[in-house]
């Protein structure tokens, strides 16, 4: 057999769903997981348990892999360079990935290539935050540690110089950004391959609750066609300019005055693309696998007029399996995706997808199922 081995670093749900997408292609999948209980480790055959921060572990793991890709963006840049020096293709490569690891580097690069961003600069202390605020419309100001944040962690919205002290306690550089007066959040998902082919998924609307993605609607309802096209082109351009290989999610603010500004970048399959598993001809996971193997990409177009994804967060009831009876009986078209993770309050443990012609119906079905699984709806 000449089928390649894809080495996946990280055992989370993105790795789990990438494995699922690789099975039909006959791709052999090797996983580096923190524990044997991680989401992906439960369903993959070839699992190495080890610490991705240890170079020797990474090197041992990479031996026999045809390409290395990632469930997360936390692998140290110098380790990725070492793997490349060993002759192992790393996709996305360290020069691209740094833009998803370091928000300071990301903002500087997006400025350099002319991509519109919220007003921003690196700040040195609370007084500097006050100065940054005064340079614009004043407080509130958004502060972010340049590394390590996700799902609202490592992000603060501060209203005063006193509140600005907290982000500096970790001793890492802090980025200040204007708090954008946005109408809604959008996401432009694209996939790019080493030979430069790229595909763009329809721009989606992403609704957050407490800083965590809650609902994604594909395509974004009522989005002006020209603006949608501009967002797709922007994401394709960022992928090209940053040398991304694989999936790139560009999280966007749509402002009241009709602009789109880049909020965050993620270089891996992304929560805003989970709808594609049931709603697109080719899912983001299948296209990520194809991209890192430099295979021609699949059609990203939607299969339904509307697809809605709602995340399933952990609630008070640990037993989500019992809820299947109600959810499946109520909606035979419902698509459940559970990650095999223990239920903890607020933890993302799965998502549901629904699709159809009537957006209100599709939204209601997804929200009902996610709420019932979580335990916030009991009817």
Footprint of a second copy (CB under 8 A): 1-4, 16-17, 19-20, 23-26, 28-29, 41-45, 47, 277, 281-282, 290, 295-299, 303, 318-322, 324-325, 328-329, 332-340, 342, 350
| 177 annotated as belonging to a binding site for a ligand | yes
User: What's the min distance (Å) between Cβ of 37 and a second copy?
Assistant: 10
| 379 annotated as belonging to a binding site for a ligand | no
Q: Which is nearer to a second copy, 41 or 261 (CB)?
A: 41
User: What's the min distance (Å) between Cβ of 1 and a second copy?
Assistant: 6
User: What's the min distance (Å) between Cβ of 325 and a second copy?
Assistant: 7
What are phi and psi for residue 2, nearest 5 degrees?
A: -110, 15
User: What's the min distance (Å) between Cβ of 314 and a second copy?
Assistant: 12
| 185 annotated as belonging to a binding site for a ligand | yes
Q: Which is nearer to a second copy, 29 or 52 (CB)?
A: 29
Owner of token pair 């640990």: 318
| 205 annotated as belonging to a binding site for a ligand | no
DSSP-derived letter for residue 350 is E
Q: Which is nearer to a second copy, 9 or 286 (CB)?
A: 286
| 233 annotated as belonging to a binding site for a ligand | no
Which positions ≥6 away from 58 have C-beta within 8 Å? 9, 32, 52, 75, 79, 82, 83
Q: Which is nearer to a second copy, 145 or 287 (CB)?
A: 287
User: What's the min distance (Å) between Cβ of 230 and a second copy?
Assistant: 24
Q: Which is nearer to a second copy, 149 or 340 (CB)?
A: 340
User: What's the min distance (Å) between Cβ of 200 and a second copy?
Assistant: 13
- Please, is 378 exposed, middle or buried when counting C-beta atoms within 10 Å of its C-beta (0-12, 13-18, 19+)? exposed
Question: Cα(197)–Cα(245) distance, rounded to whole angstroms?
Answer: 10
What are phi and psi for residue 207, nearest 5 degrees?
A: -105, 125
Nearest to 148, CA basis, from 122, 120, 130, 167: 167
| 174 annotated as belonging to a binding site for a ligand | no
- Please, is 156 exposed, middle or buried when counting C-beta atoms within 10 Å of its C-beta (0-12, 13-18, 19+)? middle
User: What's the min distance (Å) between Cβ of 259 and a second copy?
Assistant: 32
Q: Which is nearer to a second copy, 209 or 281 (CB)?
A: 281
Q: Which is nearer to a second copy, 67 or 277 (CB)?
A: 277
Nearest to 217, CA basis, from 355, 11, 83, 315: 355
Which positions ≥6 away from 220 have C-beta within 8 Å? 184, 186, 202, 203, 204, 205, 228
| 180 annotated as belonging to a binding site for a ligand | yes
Helix (H/G/I), strand (E/B), else coil: 163? helix
CA distances from 370 to 123, 145, 332, 336, 366 (A): 40, 31, 15, 9, 6
Q: Which is nearer to a second copy, 20 or 185 (CB)?
A: 20
Q: According to the 3-state scheme, what is the secondary structure of 68-137? A: EEECCCCCCHHHHHHHHHCCCCECCCHHHHHHHHCHHHHHHHHHHCCCCCCCEEEECCHHHHHHHHHHCC
Q: According to the 3-state scheme, what is the secondary structure of 271-296? A: HHHCCHHHHECCCHHHHHHHHHCCCC
User: What's the min distance (Å) between Cβ of 50 and a second copy?
Assistant: 16
Annotated binding site for ATP: 103, 144, 177-180, 185, 263-264
- State the binding site: 103, 144, 177-180, 185, 263-264
């Amino acid at each position: 057999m000449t089928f390649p081995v894809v080495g996946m670093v990280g055992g989370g749900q993105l790795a789990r769903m990438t494995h699922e997408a690789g099975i039909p292609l006959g791709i052999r999948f090797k996983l580096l997981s923190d524990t044997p209980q991680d989401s992906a480790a439960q369903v993959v055959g070839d699992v190495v348990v080890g610490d991705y921060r240890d170079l020797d572990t990474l090197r041992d793991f990479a031996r026999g892999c045809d390409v290395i890709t990632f469930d997360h963006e936390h692998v140290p840049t110098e380790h990725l360079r070492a793997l490349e020096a060993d002759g192992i293709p790393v996709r996305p490569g360290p020069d691209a990935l740094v833009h998803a690891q370091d928000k300071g580097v990301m903002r500087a690069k997006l400025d350099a290539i002319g991509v519109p961003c919220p007003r921003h600069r690196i700040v040195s202390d609370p007084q500097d935050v006050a100065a940054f605020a005064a340079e614009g419309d004043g407080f509130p100001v958004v502060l972010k540690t340049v590394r390590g944040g996700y799902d609202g962690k490592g992000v603060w919205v501060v209203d005063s110089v006193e509140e600005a002290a907290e982000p500096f306690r970790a001793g890492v550089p802090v980025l200040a950004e204007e708090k954008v007066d946005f109408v809604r959040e959008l996401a432009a998902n694209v996939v790019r391959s080493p030979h430069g082919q790229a595909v763009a998924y329809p721009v989606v609307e992403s609704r957050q609750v407490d800083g965590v993605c809650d609902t994604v609607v594909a395509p974004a309802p009522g989005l002006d066609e020209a603006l949608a096209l501009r967002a797709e082109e922007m994401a394709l351009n960022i992928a090209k300019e940053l040398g991304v290989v694989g999936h790139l999610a560009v999280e966007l603010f749509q402002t009241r005055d009709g602009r789109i500004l880049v909020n965050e970048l993620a270089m891996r399959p992304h929560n805003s693309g989970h709808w594609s598993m049931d709603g697109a001809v080719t899912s983001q996971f299948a296209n990520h696998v194809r991209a890192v193997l430099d295979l021609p990409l699949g059609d990203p177009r939607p299969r339904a007029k509307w697809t809605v994804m709602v995340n399933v967060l952990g609630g008070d009831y640990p037993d989500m399996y019992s809820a299947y009876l109600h959810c499946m009986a109520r909606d035979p078209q419902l698509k459940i995706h559970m990650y095999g993770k223990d239920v903890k309050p607020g933890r993302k443990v799965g998502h549901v997808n629904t699709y159809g012609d009537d957006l209100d119906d599709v939204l209601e079905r997804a929200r009902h199922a996610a709420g019932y699984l979580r335990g916030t709806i009991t009817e």
